[in-house]
Structure 1
Amino acid sequence: MRRVVFLGPPGAGKGTQAARCARERKLPHIATGDLLRQNVESGTLLGRKAKAFMDRGELVPDDLVIGMVD
């Protein structure tokens, strides 16, 4: 399976381009920020762990984000 990742600073248009690419190619669009917020709001175990990092202004570790995608 091919994966495409959009990287860039805030406001660069990553979400816009990813949504467009997903729509045109009928691919899933996974936005990690949205995924993190959903898990935190739902109070999942991974969301609670991620929230601790977010509250300290730290990056959420990759293994937590990957766990949310799986």
Structure 2
Amino acid sequence: MPEIDYQAQLDQLHAGKVKELIIKPEQFMDFQDVFQSYQYRSQIEGDAKHGGEIHYHLISERAES
């Protein structure tokens, strides 16, 4: 089980309590296991950044900015 509660972080993102989740390369596999089963994953998008980080945000948030 991952040390970080990715389910709680995804819930905060979906609820609008945070605007972005930043996942580092070494966290990706643990995060991906949780993300693939997340109920609202179709509403969340990830953008790959330099260095292998992925920044996840709500799709509607991006459309508004």
**TM-score normalised over the length of structure 1:** 0.27
Give the structure with the higher percent helix: 1
User: Which of structures 1 and 2 has the bigger CA Rg?
Assistant: 1
TM-score by length of structure 2 reads 0.28
More strand by share: 2
